[in-house]
Chain A
Amino acid sequence: MSTAEVYLVLGGVVTLLGAVRLLTTRDRLAQVIALNVTGTGTVLVLVALAATGGGEPDPVLHALALTGIVITVSVTGLALVLVRRLDREDDGG
């Protein structure tokens, strides 16, 4: 198994763990964090895929990964706003 393939499997495992946590937890903050873990796993898969071809890593896949990261950041922002509002709702405010 090459290094790239190890990372590929690792990425898959991280993604899966994040997804399972996301679907099972009821804690909102944990959900947001799990979402980010899943995103990190996905990016790991993408970067590993870029390296599996051997030779120079493919820049297009890196661009894809970068975009994924950017989008995850904005999604996290929106999610945090919602979590804050939900918490305020719970406090009766």
Chain B
Amino acid sequence: MTWTAWIPVLVLLTSLVPAVVILLLPERRERLRTALSLAGAAAKVALVVALVGPVVDGRRPEVRVPFLPDVDLVLRVEPFSLYFLGLSAFLWLVTTVYAVGYLRDHGHHRSRFFGFFSLCVVATSGVALSGNLVTFVVFYELLTLATYPLVAHDQTPAALRGARTYLHYTLVGGVALLLGAVWLTVLIGPVEFADRGSPAVAALAASDPGTLRLVVALMLGGLAVKAALVPVHGWLPKAMVAPAPVSALLHAVAVVKAGVFGIVLVVDMVLGVQVAEDLGVLLPLTVVACVTILWGSVRALAQDGLKARLAYSTVSQVSYVVLGVSLVSATGMTGGVVHIVHQGLMKITLFFCAGLLAQTLGLTRVSQLAGVGRRMPLTCAAFTVGALGMIGIPPVAGFVTKWWLGLGALDAGEPWVLAVLVTSSLLNAAYFLPVVARMWWGKAEAGAVLPRPVGPEAPWTMVTPALVTAGCSIAVALGAGLAFSPLSMARVIVEEGWWP
């Protein structure tokens, strides 16, 4: 066993060790806490980069630990794992920088915050690296538990209510997933993730499709909760009470992403596209995704709270990923997979900006934003990039996604999906463009005079992350054709790994 085989464990340790140490640190050790968080995040990014070479060479580093006599916990680096891991490692680093700035002046319980923040990343990395269903379930549930204290962070009655709603939804979803996972294990033994699906599952699909359909429905139903598919999306807007870095984590890096990542795993690495289609799982999934896309957008229109609007936007946008993998088309699936990264970059930009506006000027409602562009030009520029990307205007990442999804819909012979995409883009424009317009050209109401700019518009630790992710949202679209762009990676994953 070479040293690369242990990288999966190291990847977990780079956030587990900081998490444990930080949780034990007294509140005043701010420097050490920041240094540990950043060092862990940077080390993780470095490890991910170190993994690229071996994985491209076809190696799949793997670690096994016995769990029950005939079931192992497995961590394995597949291209798709690395893709998700890379996203979460990079965004964690950026979010950590942002959170340091966000909590610097008036934070409380910061050791608890950063400790659980790191623990969340342990869980997300574990989800990414899971080599079988048991391991996935373990880390998926750990993610629920590690995010609860973050959602409840402010300890206000509203925060505790939001956290309780979050816990109720995700625990019940976890129960459905657990039942499906154990049932499948009972039927065919430990379920290893494999390209083009597990052969044992294919055999089961031939012999007992009814039971398999039920099992898959349980698993997808459980995963749908975190992926915030309608009608089990209710926790996401309620969890908006969390601090902005946590919202960024929930919406872009960890929780909803773990949900859609799981759905992609079940469809492509447990069932395989062919089996999934034969079972008739995919069409219902497409319909649910389309309903979610439209419903999220419609609800977003009505929200005046900026973060609430962004939350419903997430409900809608994350379903593009589900839509992509549910289309029986390599092109559509590529669009879905690439949106995992694209949505992450754009949505985290938007949340960073929302946090900046709230923290610096105390602005939390869309109606308060008139003319704020003159006071905080960099923040508003980043917000504009994110918003345009969500609508799907080139040259921002969202355009690439929608292009591939559209092609995929035609390819799969479901032209009606195109109509959904167009409607959704119009709705996106309807709820984002007025915000952008008000920021830049709106007239501040009389009496609501914004403070004059004194020095930089906000701490650099908060502005820089927003600019970086906004820049990345453009770069991934402009450089989509280059090797190692998210699009190229998504194509490799789909065409070499999953497509029959």
Question: Does A touch B (CB under 8 Å) in the complex?
Answer: no
What residues of chain A have their CB less than 8 Å away from a CB belonging to chain B?
Answer: none
What residues of chain B have their CB less than 8 Å away from a CB belonging to chain A?
Answer: none
